Structure 1
Amino acid sequence: MQVWLIDHPTFLDEFLYHHALTLLDASSLGRVRRFYQRDDACRCLIGRLLPRVLLSEKGVSARNIQFATTDAGKPYFVTPGVSPPIGYNVSHDNELVAMAFAPGEHGPPAFRIGVDVMKVRKPRGEGVASFLRSVGDTLTDAEKRFLSSIVPENEVLSCFYLNWTIKESFTKAIGLGLGFDFRRIEFDIPTNTVTVDGVLATNWQFETIQVTVDEDVYQVTVAHFMESGKGTVVPLNQGQIVRSGASSFVRKAVHQLKGLELEDAVNNDS
C-alpha cells in the first residue's frame, strides 16, 4: 500500500491549470468546471489526475484509462490490461490532496481501501467543548467520555480528527460513505483498536499519520482490508508516502500523459 500526498493544490498558476484540464476526459472535465470557486476546482483537478498518473506509470495513456463507479458512487478502474488490479481512493481538504492505493485483492471491483484527510482545526469562534457537542452525533458514548477527559485542547482536537478520519476512511473503503452511522464504528484510543457494531474489525488495518503544510497540521488515515489486519491503528510508514507540491505534480502528469499519448499516436500510425 502507498499514499501519494499533493500539497498546495490551490497554488496552481493559470498555465498549469488549463494545461492539466486537457488531460481529463469529458466527464471529469465537466466535474471540475462545475465548481464556482477556483480553489475547489483545483482540488478536484488534482484528485482526478492522481489515478491517471498512477496508471501512466504502468504505461497506460490517459485516453485508454477507463473508470466506473459502484452504485454508491465509489470510482474504480475498468481499464483493460492492468494486472494485478489496483484499488484506490482519493481525499482532499484545504491544501492537501491524498490518494491511497494497493493491489486489488479483496472486494472487487472497487476493492476495500479508503483514505481520508482533514485539517486539524476547530470552527472559528467556537470552543473545544461546544465543538465536541456539535459533532456528538458522530461519537459513541465511550468516545465522548474519553475526549472530554483530555487536556490540553490541541490534544483533544488531534484525537477527534484521528477518530473522524478512521471512521471516514472505513466507510469509504467499504464503499458506503454518506449514510453510514459513524456511531457504529468505535475507536478505543487507549488500546488503538477499532470495532464495528461492537465487534473487533478483524482483517482491517488503519494506518495514520499527521503531516504539516505550512503551519497547519493535517490528519491522514487509510483503512485497508488485509488478511493480516487485526483492527488496529498503526503509524503510516514514511516509506509508503510519496509527497510533492501541486505544481511539480502537474508538470509530471503533463509530461507522462502527453508522452504516452504521443507514443500511442505513433504506434497507431505505424
Structure 2
Amino acid sequence: MPRRPALSLGRLAMDSVRWAFSYSAWAPCREDWLLAMRLIQPEEKERIEQFVFSRDAKAAMAGRLLIRKLIAEKLKIPWNEIWLQRTSKGKPVLANNLSSSSHSRFSFNVSHQGNYAVLAAEPDCQVGIDIMKTALPGSGSVPHFFHIMRRQFTEEEWRVITSMNNEWLQLDMFHRHWALKESFIKAIGVGIGFDLQRIEFHVSPLQLEVEKTYNETIMLLDGEQEKEWTFEAPYTTVTPPAFTKLTFHDLVASAVPLAAEDPACWDNFCSRQESPARQSSNPR
C-alpha cells in the first residue's frame, strides 16, 4: 500500500488507520443483513442487490461499512449525514462539506478480495490499498495466463516474476506486483486507463516472511525513482499484520440507519449462491 506525504503542513487529529474484516467468515443473520442494508446509501444498496453471489455482496457491504465507520468515528460526522460519491474513475470519496481545512488532506481507500475487506486511512497522505489472494487462473495454464497479462508489467518485472522456482511462487510474485500497481493507481485515483508499464516495481525482499510487513520496495515512474512514495507489503495467512480485525458489531457500533427496513433484501440475499466453483488458492 503506497503513502505519499502531503505538501501542505498541518495534521488531522487522528493516526493512521488499518482495519480488516473477514467477510468470508461472516454469515449474517436476517437481523444483521437487514440492518446493514439500512446503513448505506440507496445507490449502494441497489448495487449490492445486483450481485450474483452472496460472497461478493458481503465483500461490497463490508467495504462500505468500513468507510462509513471511519468517517463517523474519526471525522465525527454523524453516520446518517455522511454522503459518499464516486469519482469518474470509480474511487469512493467523501462529498460532505468539511469545516476544517485539515480534513481536506484526509485520505482513505478500501480493497476486498479473497477473505478480507481492508481499509487504510491517513490524516495527511494520499493512500491506496489492494489485497490479493494467490490463486490459480480460472482457466488455462499459468504460462497462458501470464501471456494474456504480458502488457501489464515491464520486462524487468516479468524477469523477477518468472525467476521464482515454481509456478505457484511465480503466481505469488505476480499477485504481489499486481497489488502494488493497483494500490498506486487507487491512491492517485486515475482508474484503469493508466498505462501500467509506466510504473515499475523493484520488490524487496524477494522472499516475504508470514505475518511481517515490509517497506523496502521502490517504484519507478517513467524510468525515474519516486522517492516520495512508501510501499507497505504485508504477507499473511490470517489477519494482515498491523491491521485491527473487526467484527460486524464493531463495524456498526456507531451506525445510524439511513432508511427503513426492507424485508425483501433478506429474501434476495438468501436466494444467492455463496460463490462460484472454488479455485485452488492460498491467502495473500
Say if 1:120 and 1:158, in contact at 8 Å, map to a contact too.
yes
The answer to whether 1:197 aligns with 2:222 is: yes
Matched, 1:252 2:267: no
By how many angstroms is 1:126 displaced? 4.4
1:188/1:253 Cα in 2 relative to 1: closer, same or farther (>3 Å)?
closer
Q: TM-score when scaled to structure 2?
A: 0.72
Aligned positions of 1:32-181 closer than 5 A: 32-58=48-74, 59-79=76-96, 80-81=98-99, 84-85=102-103, 86-105=106-125, 112-124=126-138, 126-181=140-195
Shift in Å at residue 254 of structure 1? 3.0
Cα 1:69–1:157 shift into 2, 3 Å: same
Q: What SS does the corresponding residue of 2:89 show, helix, strand or coil?
A: coil
After superposition, the Cα gap between the structure-2 partners of 1:40 and 1:254, relative to the gap in structure 1 and judged at 3 Å, is same
1:25 aligned onto 2:27 = no
Question: Any conservation in 1 of the 2:65–2:252 contact (CA below 8 Å)?
Answer: no
Distance 2:252 2:160 in 1: 48
Instruction: Tell me the secondary structure at the aligned position of residue 137 of structure 2.
Output: coil
Q: Gaps spanning 5+ residues in structure 2: where?
A: 1-15, 205-215, 260-284
1:241 to 243, 249, 264: 243
Q: CA deviation at 1:43?
A: 0.9
1:192/1:253 CA distance change after superposition, 3 Å: closer
1:165-222 alpha-carbon deviations (Å, 9 max, x no partner): 1111111111012111211111123683210111112211111112224xxxx9x7xx
Task: Give a deviation string over 1:69-91, Cα, whole Å, max 9, x none.
Answer: 33323221233346742211111
Task: Among all aligned residue pairs of Structure 1 and Structure 2, give the percentage whose two residues are the same amino acid.
Answer: 29
Give the SS at the match of 1:88: strand
Letter in 1 for 2:174: F
Q: Aligned partners of 2:37 and 2:189: how far apart in 1?
A: 27
- Does the 8 Å contact 1:122/1:131 carry over to 2? no
Contact 1:56/1:62 (8 A) holds in 2: yes
Task: Pick which of 117-126 and 75-84 moved more.
Answer: 75-84
Deviation of the 1:258 alpha carbon: 3.5
Distance (Å, rounded) in 2 between the aligned partners of 1:88 and 1:173: 9
Deviation for aligned residue 1:30:
1.6
Q: TM-score, normalised by structure 1?
A: 0.75
More helix by share: 1
Query: Could you say which structure has the higher strand fraction?
Result: 1
C-alpha distance in structure 2 between counterparts of 1:144 and 1:40, whole Å:
31
- Root mean square deviation, CA, Å: 2.5
Retained in 1: the 8 A contact 2:23–2:58?
A: no
- 2:233 aligned to which of 201, 208, 211: 208
Distance change in 2, residues 1:67/1:212 (3 Å): same
- Cα distance in 1 between the residues matched to 2:102 and 2:81: 17
